[in-house]
């Protein structure tokens, strides 16, 4: 069921890309319900909305918490496969944080420093609920206290939760009228969606193998 859901998301994003591509050639222009873009940053960057800005700002903090989690792997007795996964997550999400920070700079928007606490506070200040998938302080403490196989299992469980939250944020943005329509914005958003979905599949298999191995005599 999870694989079907992930494929459905990918197809939906591809369909959105086709729709966006067709909009440029249409004489009718954008639908009347789409909100006007905010804070125009030049002809190449005029198509962005407040929802796009809030997504980039919040996702920087969301990614930063994943970096905090992944950085524990080498010091908490994680298996080599978990350490390799954590390294991949660090590399990918550091790059995405830089892209999102530059996206905000190019549009003269405030740029979060990349700390999960800072972005979390900004998200609450903007009137939103806690970002989906974010670990609570108690969950982070539980992960930090675990070692060896206990850490591996918790890491996979919590990182799947965390990645699902990122996908929920993507889904909410794509469902917002007028949002994620500029090519640069759509590319960042769709890349995040595909990366997180792919890693969820990988981690689910790793978690399944870990649990089965633990139960085996």
For the chain, how many residues are written?
Answer: 217
The answer to whether residue 18 is domain-embedded is no
CB 106, CB 41: distance < 8 Å: yes
**pLDDT per position in the chain (217 positions), as tens?**
443 443 444 444 444 443 333 333 333 344 434 444 444 444 455 679 999 999 999 999 999 999 999 999 999 999 999 999 999 999 999 999 999 999 999 999 999 988 765 545 544 444 445 799 999 999 999 999 999 999 999 999 999 999 999 999 999 999 999 999 999 999 999 999 999 999 999 999 999 999 887 655 5
pLDDT for position 7: 41
The answer to whether residue 87 is domain-embedded is yes
pLDDT for position 2: 40
pLDDT for position 144: 98
The SS3 call for residue 26 is coil
Per the structure, how many domains does the chain have?
Answer: 1
The answer to whether residue 71 is domain-embedded is yes
For 151, the domain range is 49-215
pLDDT for position 216: 52
Which residues lie closer than 8 Å to 41 by C-beta, 6 or more apart?
Answer: 48, 106, 107, 108
Q: What is the DSSP string of 174-195?
A: HTSTTTT-SHHHHHHHHHHHHH
The answer to whether residue 4 is domain-embedded is no
- CATH number at 208 reads 1.20.1260.10
The answer to whether residue 43 is domain-embedded is no
The answer to whether residue 211 is domain-embedded is yes
The answer to whether residue 7 is domain-embedded is no
The answer to whether residue 10 is domain-embedded is no
pTM of the model: 0.76
């Amino acid at each position: 069921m999870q694989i079907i859901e992930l494929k459905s998301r990918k197809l939906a994003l591809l369909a959105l890309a086709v729709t966006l591509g067709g909009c440029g050639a249409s004489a009718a222009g954008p639908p009347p319900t789409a909100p006007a873009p905010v804070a125009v940053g030049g002809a190449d960057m005029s198509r962005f909305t407040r929802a796009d800005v809030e997504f980039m700002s919040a996702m920087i903090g969301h990614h930063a918490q994943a970096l905090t989690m992944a950085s524990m792997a080498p010091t908490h007795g994680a298996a080599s496969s978990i350490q390799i996964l954590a390294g991949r997550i660090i590399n990918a999400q550091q790059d995405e944080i830089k892209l999102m920070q530059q996206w905000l700079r190019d549009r003269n928007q405030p740029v979060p420093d990349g700390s999960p606490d800072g972005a979390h506070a900004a998200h609450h200040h903007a009137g939103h609920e806690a970002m989906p998938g974010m670990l609570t302080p108690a969950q982070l403490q539980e992960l930090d206290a675990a070692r060896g196989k206990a850490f591996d299992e918790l890491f996979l469980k919590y990182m799947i939760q965390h990645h699902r939250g990122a996908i929920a944020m993507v889904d909410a943005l794509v469902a917002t009228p007028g949002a994620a329509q500029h090519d640069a914005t759509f590319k960042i958003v769709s890349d995040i969606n595909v990366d997180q979905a792919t890693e969820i599949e990988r981690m689910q298999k790793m978690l399944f193998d870990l649990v089965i191995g633990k139960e085996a005599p």
